[in-house]
Chains A and B, each alone.
Chain A
Amino acid sequence: GQSLEQPSEVTAVEGAIVQINCTYQTSGFYGLSWYQQHDGGAPTFLSYNALDGLEETGRFSSFLSRSDSYGYLLLQELQMKDSASYFCAVKRGTYKYIFGTGTRLKVLA
């Protein structure tokens, strides 16, 4: 079977750092993606990790450990506009993406 687990909700204050974890169990693992979705909006791509390690893109970083079947999204210098849902998605094989249930991030002033 396959499964992805991420926390349902995370709260942090403006300017802080927050980490959203994702653990997965799947066959045919190729990589892990992260998407952001504001209420009523479309998911937007943040990052993709195929290899172990940390990938940094501005205030956002994503980490993958294939041996631990674990990844995380790190958001630094939180801003109010970062309040959204964040989804990890496992890439199974060459084209299929399986999404987690999402983590709702609330950024407080």
Chain B
Amino acid sequence: GAGVSQTPSNKVTEKGKYVELRCDPISGHTALYWYRQSLGQGPEFLIYFQGTGAADDSGLPNDRFFAVRPEGSVSTLKIQRTERGDSAVYLCASRSDAGQETQYFGPGTRLLVL
């Protein structure tokens, strides 16, 4: 079946602009994660959804970052007033809640803030 998809694959924006990053998880996966990965680092936890609700958003760096998952499937990560330090790869992962440990990662969105 289809894996996790993310759009856009690349996004270049100017400092101060607003961006939206989209994640389409594997169908039926109730758990969805957003991570941020900088060069040479591991994925850094941002937010976790269980169904439609954000069960844990403790990893969001500040209030410029927000994520939604209104129907329990597709999720959007929103970044307001982007800063150069936001440049990174944003990864989405989904996981079946049926006792499975595997997180299935999408290919990521490479965000560059100029």
Contact = CB atoms under 8 A, between A and B. Distances in A.
Interface string B19-61: 0000000000001010100001111110010100001100000
A41 interface: yes
Contact of A96 (B4, B56, B108): B56
Contacts of B48: 95-96
A60 interface: no
Interface string A86-109: 010101000111111110000000
A96 B43 contact: no
Interface residues of B, number: 24
A87 B43 contact: yes
B107 A42 contact: yes
B104 interface: yes
- Main DSSP-derived SS at the B contact region: strand
Contact of B42 (A31, A41, A95, A99): A99
B108 A42 contact: yes
Nearest to A93: B56
B98 to A, nearest CB: 14
Contacts of A7: none
A48 interface: yes
Contacts of B42: 87, 89, 99-102
A42 B41 contact: no
A95 B56 contact: yes
Nearest to B95: A95
Given A42-B107, A97-B33, A102-B42, 18 more contacts: A31-B101, A33-B103, A41-B107, A42-B106, A42-B108, A43-B93, A43-B103, A45-B101, A45-B104, A48-B101, A87-B43, A96-B48, A97-B103, A98-B45, A99-B44, A100-B42, A101-B41, A102-B40
11 contacts: A33-B103, A42-B4, A43-B93, A45-B102, A45-B103, A97-B45, A98-B45, A99-B42, A101-B40, A101-B41, A102-B41
